[in-house]
Structure 1
């Protein structure tokens, strides 16, 4: 039924279908689809990979929604590690040095929390 079909976009791939207006004017299901006086009719279909579809279904699951409620707590701790304690930039090259920096930073933050808990009592 479509006159022409084209694939567009690199990052957000879409399939565009171009329709003949003469067919749209006499189509029984034109309500909500065809507007009077239109010169052309196109319909876009976003092309999603299997990974996108799987991730979309996962995000609609109750397990994900329950975990997302508690995410703000973890994000606040990560933001403290990155912004206040310099974990956003590696101080030395190499995976071992990055692991050492992460371990010492986490140790310092945990000690800081322990001290604040002791001082509260």
Structure 2
């Protein structure tokens, strides 16, 4: 500040993990993948909100795997039907 008797500087020291992560985020591969991410997120949202994949309907790992398989099968079947209608 004006008229202060001393000056203070702030220097951020990044860990090696942070530096590696920052370098990865600046890479071309990460930028390409991030451009496609919105498509995947839209599918995940559809699974969660429209097909009940957000909450387990039964207990246990096998029940959750079955629920996931059925939800993904349903979404894929809807997509196949849509593509068949569009091709006619």
TM-score by length of 2: 0.83
- Please state how far the C-alpha of 1:47 moved relative to its aligned partner: 4.6
Structure 1 alignment gaps of length 5 or more: 1-34
Deviant stretches of 4+, over 4 Å = none
* Equivalent in 13, 37, 51 of residue 3 of structure 2: 37
Matches within 5 A, 1:64-79: 64-79=30-45
Q: CA separation of 1:52/1:113 partners in 2, compared to 1, >3 Å: closer, same or farther?
A: same
TM-score by length of 1: 0.63
Q: CA separation of 1:84/1:40 partners in 2, compared to 1, >3 Å: closer, same or farther?
A: farther
* Equivalent in 74, 83, 88 of residue 117 of structure 1: 83
The 3-state SS of whatever aligns with 1:113 is helix
* Equivalent in 39, 48, 55 of residue 82 of structure 1: 48
Structure 2 alignment gaps of length 5 or more: none
> Quick check: which has more Rg, 1 or 2?
1
Aligned positions, number: 87
Report which of the two has the higher share of helix: 2
Inter-partner Cα distance in structure 2 for 1:91 and 1:46:
47
RMSD after superposition: 1.8
Report which of the two has the higher share of strand: 1
